Structure 1
Amino acid sequence: MSAALAVKNDGSSAGPSAAEPPPPRVRRRRERSFDETPRWQLYVPLGIYLIFTLIPFYWMFLFSVRPAGSTSLVPWPMTDDHFSKVWNERSFAIFFQNSVLVGVCTLLTTTLVALAGGYALARFRFKIKTPFMLALLCSQFIPGALLLVPLFEIFKNLQMINSLGSVIIAETVFQLPLSIILISGFIRNVPPSLEESAWVDGCSRFRGFCLVVLPLLRPGLIAVGSFAFVHSWNHFLFALMFLSEQDKQTIPVGLNTLIGADSVDLGALAAGGVIAAVPVVIVFAFIQKWLITGFSAGAVKG
């Protein structure tokens, strides 16, 4: 009886063994790898999605290089008349310069402030930490249009109406909540032991952060900064409300000026759209490279 109980209490003897291999049918199902999937099941949906995505871009490019009055579906013969018109006659060179200035300044201010705020949320404990995080999340539900009148009054009292600084401040404020949350998530993935090792070696908190943590945050900083740049580059509402003079307007507002009350110059509008889309495409291609990279790879020695 005791021998039977001993056998029964033995985990490897009572019931099916944990080391017992699964049935052949289950084993074959598990061993089936992704490479065995028919290629058409992968490429056909991706091809349909790619065509659906690229058709608007092709249509915009076609109108931008096709001569006026042409109905050809092939961009040949090509002309640069539309690009020359919007760049020289429609002041798109100034719009492009203003958009670059707003985008770069928004990128820098958003990244620096979000870096400080994200580090505080990730490394310090304080009483209002949870309510503060909740307030940051809830702020994402507030549309910017609701704050246009208060912001206009504030910038008017500060004499910043018709200044690119007003657009930069507004864009930075609306980008900060999400940027702080993202940066704090990146910093939490960096082990605190790395900073503590730097402190033991004589580094201050700021120097240890710059030498140890900051290099590991490079992909996260590039992603957050790039998103801030793209958002400020494409945003139309703030530039429309706070900028009135033509030499202070940005590309989204400049594109709006190409739409007349009675007619629309499709060639010029498409050329302006291509000019506006090229920097965004380049930035997103750059984002993809850094998002794939592991931002903490090699941080901890084995």
Structure 2
Amino acid sequence: MITKEATEAAPTPVSVPTEAEHRPRKGKYRAWDDAPRWQIYLPLSIYLVFTLIPFYWILLFALRPAGSTSLVPWPITFEHFEKVWTERSFATYFQNSLLVGVATLLMTTLVALAGGYALARFDFKVKRAFMLALLCSQFVPGALLLVPLFEIFAELQMINSLTSVIIAETVFQLPLSMILISNFIKNVPYTLEEAAWVDGCNRFTAFRIVVLPLLRPGLIAVGSFAFVHSWNHFLFALMFLNNQSKQTIPVGLNTLMSADSVDLGALAAGGIIAAVPVVLVFAFIQKWLITGFSAGAVKG
């Protein structure tokens, strides 16, 4: 006779998993690590080929001699680069674009830093309406701003001046930059500033010593975005700059194309010259750029 005490003392039976339970799941539930390698590398290889072909085509036209139809740039020549740099005034275009890009970067970062701090740390009555206006301004294309900006700059006698392009680029970049920096500042604990105030710092000193060093990824992200956009922007430079000595690289590339013919070698060389600074910028700041955009894209 089995007593109650013997039943409670008996060990609990352990279920042995069947072969079906050991078998890995298939279909959409299958782990990515169990997939064959060709399923991973084949799509990536196809994407890489389609991405690199245009770059190779540009290098091909820029490095092979004029009139050549070879699919390999041999013998390599730099005559197209010398032509656009000297005869087509690309040295001047490069300097103008660099000046516009750096000035836009500095002005956008400084103004967005001040505005973003106000949005992140202060509460005022029209704050929600102001944020809504900033967001709605992102839906306005830059082409709609050309006529009013041209009239304003004409009244101020700033047409054919790089200052007009810098101001227009800064105004166009400020809404998004201010939103990103304000969200990034929200991720910085407010108690850090309060601790600095207790130690005798005023608001500006506490921001400069405590908060500003923590904003480096966000500032790099905003500044690089402003620089690249102003470097590549075509409309403002075309509309506000009439003198060839004041034009930027995008407008200079447009001068290489006419209604009758296109100098493909010079155009390809000019495109490489225009792309090199942007590639170098992203190559050096990609770590901070990804961190800044990811931190500024979410609410803290």
TM-score by length of 2: 0.87
Q: Secondary structure at the match of 2:257?
A: coil
- Tell me whether 86-95 or 49-58 shows the greater mean CA deviation: 49-58
The aligned residue for residue 282 of structure 1 is: 280
Is 2:239 the partner of 1:241? yes
CA distance in structure 2 between the partners assigned to 1:294 and 1:144 by the alignment: 25
- Change in CA separation of 1:174 and 1:285 when aligned onto 2, cut-off 3 Å: same
Is 2:160 the partner of 1:162? yes
CA distance in structure 1 between the partners assigned to 2:294 and 2:110 by the alignment: 20
Shift of 1:34: 4.9
The aligned residue for residue 189 of structure 2 is: 191
The one-letter amino acid of 1:186's match is: F
Alpha carbons 1:164, 1:243 under 8 Å: kept: yes
The aligned residue for residue 111 of structure 1 is: 109
Alpha carbons 2:165, 2:240 under 8 Å: kept: yes
The one-letter amino acid of 2:284's match is: F
Please point out which of 138, 141, 147 is paired with 2:139.
141
Shift of 1:157: 0.7
CA distance in structure 1 between the partners assigned to 2:173 and 2:292 by the alignment: 24
- Tell me whether 187-196 or 32-41 shows the greater mean CA deviation: 32-41
Unaligned runs of 5+ in 1: 1-21, 298-302
- Tell me whether 229-238 or 49-58 shows the greater mean CA deviation: 49-58
The aligned residue for residue 206 of structure 2 is: 208
Shift of 1:35: 3.9
| Alpha-carbon RMSD | 2.5
CA distance in structure 1 between the partners assigned to 2:202 and 2:31 by the alignment: 50
Shift of 1:40: 2.3
Alpha carbons 1:216, 1:296 under 8 Å: kept: no
CA distance in structure 1 between the partners assigned to 2:284 and 2:180 by the alignment: 18
- Change in CA separation of 1:38 and 1:204 when aligned onto 2, cut-off 3 Å: farther
Shift of 1:42: 2.2
Please point out which of 246, 249, 266 is paired with 1:251.
249
Please point out which of 223, 226, 229 is paired with 1:225.
223
Alpha carbons 2:153, 2:159 under 8 Å: kept: yes
Please point out which of 84, 87, 91 is paired with 2:85.
87
The one-letter amino acid of 1:62's match is: L
Alpha carbons 1:83, 1:272 under 8 Å: kept: yes
- Change in CA separation of 1:181 and 1:294 when aligned onto 2, cut-off 3 Å: closer
The one-letter amino acid of 1:110's match is: T
Shift of 1:36: 3.7
Alignment of 1:6-17 (within 5 A): none
Shift of 1:41: 2.4
The one-letter amino acid of 2:101's match is: G
CA distance in structure 2 between the partners assigned to 1:149 and 1:96 by the alignment: 26
CA offsets, 1:19-67, max 9 Å, x none? Answer: xxx99849966x9865444332222222211111111111111100010
Unaligned runs of 5+ in 2: 1-16, 296-300
- Change in CA separation of 1:292 and 1:78 when aligned onto 2, cut-off 3 Å: same
Shift of 1:273: 0.3
The aligned residue for residue 46 of structure 1 is: 44
Shift of 1:193: 1.1
CA distance in structure 2 between the partners assigned to 1:47 and 1:214 by the alignment: 42
Alignment of 1:14-25 (within 5 A): 25=21
CA distance in structure 2 between the partners assigned to 1:26 and 1:283 by the alignment: 51
- Change in CA separation of 1:71 and 1:217 when aligned onto 2, cut-off 3 Å: same
**Identity among equivalent pairs (%):** 80
CA distance in structure 2 between the partners assigned to 1:240 and 1:246 by the alignment: 10
CA distance in structure 1 between the partners assigned to 2:113 and 2:128 by the alignment: 18
CA distance in structure 2 between the partners assigned to 1:148 and 1:101 by the alignment: 21
- Tell me whether 119-128 or 38-47 shows the greater mean CA deviation: 38-47
Alpha carbons 1:171, 1:232 under 8 Å: kept: yes
The one-letter amino acid of 2:241's match is: L
Alpha carbons 2:221, 2:292 under 8 Å: kept: no
Shift of 1:215: 0.8
Alpha carbons 1:118, 1:184 under 8 Å: kept: yes
- Tell me whether 35-44 or 127-136 shows the greater mean CA deviation: 35-44
- Change in CA separation of 1:271 and 1:132 when aligned onto 2, cut-off 3 Å: same
The aligned residue for residue 260 of structure 1 is: 258
Q: Secondary structure at the match of 1:141?
A: coil
